[in-house]
Amino acid sequence: MGRSPCCEKAHTNKGAWTKEEDDRLIAYIRAHGEGCWRSLPKAAGLLRCGKSCRLRWINYLRPDLKRGNFTEEEDELIIKLHSLLGNKWSLIAGRLPGRTDNEIKNYWNTHIRRKLLNRGIDPSTHRPLNDSTNSAQNNQEATTTISFASHVKQETDTNNNDNKANVFVELHRDSKRGVARERCPDLNLELTISPPHQNQETEDQVILKTGGGGRSLCFACSLGLQNSKDCSCGIVGTINGGTSGSGSSAGGYDFLGLKSSVLV
């Protein structure tokens, strides 16, 4: 038994939206808010599937959208965020008010990729194109990144529902240097990861040196989980209000400064 289709395809329009459809969708959402997308088309009198309505609203009709060209600052911010987050367009979009994930994705593929290539930078790895260590090392790194990132996400989901977007960040288990630092030298981060600890077999210990302090954090604290029972560094209570004015909301360490100070 397969998945049921998201909508009754036989009686739905496809392709470009007409002005009338846009007006109907806008009017309905203004009156009722963004509710159940599945039932919205019928309620609004639209022959579209809910997915299509949602996409149209989010990417084109939302009143808070910023139309027009990307600024140089936005360009650079997208590059930095992409180097940290990878193709997590929705997270990147979350840091650029008025921009949508689809817009940023398109912009990345059409403009920024080329821009980076012209600079001699591989857009997918953010490393120099002629970096001979790229291919072999990246394969291993990619694997590590995926497993580690999923670990990060898992930890985050169970402990901090509101700040997923702030914490789900790509890290690299590179014992020689902090890769995140290398990719974004001006982010004022020093991220290194220690070799496996003698007593620690299952979890990577992250040593995260904040801007001025050079203080070491355990894995849990590095994720903003300093109240967690998994905290092993005993740094509880010394982080918040620490460096670079990165304020933290109730109980949340501003991981890598993503929340406020660096990434706007």
The closest of 129, 120, 123, 128 to 107, measured between CA atoms, is 123
**Angstrom distances, CA of residue 16 to CA of 21, 60, 65:** 10, 12, 19
Closest contact distance (angstroms) between CB of 237 and DNA is 29
When asked if residue 125 is in the footprint of DNA (CB under 7 A), the reply is: no
Angstrom distance (rounded) from CA 189 to CA 69: 30
Angstrom distance (rounded) from CA 125 to CA 82: 9
**DSSP sequence for 148-198:** HHHHHHHHHHHH-GGGHHHH-------SSS-HHHHH-GGG--EEEEPPPPT
Size of the site for DNA (CB under 7 A): 38
- Which CB atom, from 124 or from 240, has the smaller least distance to DNA? 124
Q: Which of 29, 79, 96, 101 binds DNA (CB under 7 A)?
A: 101
Q: Which of 38, 62, 173, 215 binds DNA (CB under 7 A)?
A: 38
When asked if residue 107 is in the footprint of DNA (CB under 7 A), the reply is: yes
- Which CB atom, from 117 or from 264, has the smaller least distance to DNA? 117
Q: Which of 50, 224, 252, 257 binds DNA (CB under 7 A)?
A: 50
Q: Which residues bind DNA (CB under 7 A)?
A: 1, 3-4, 6, 13-17, 35-38, 48, 50-52, 54-56, 59-60, 87-91, 101-103, 105-107, 109-111, 114, 157
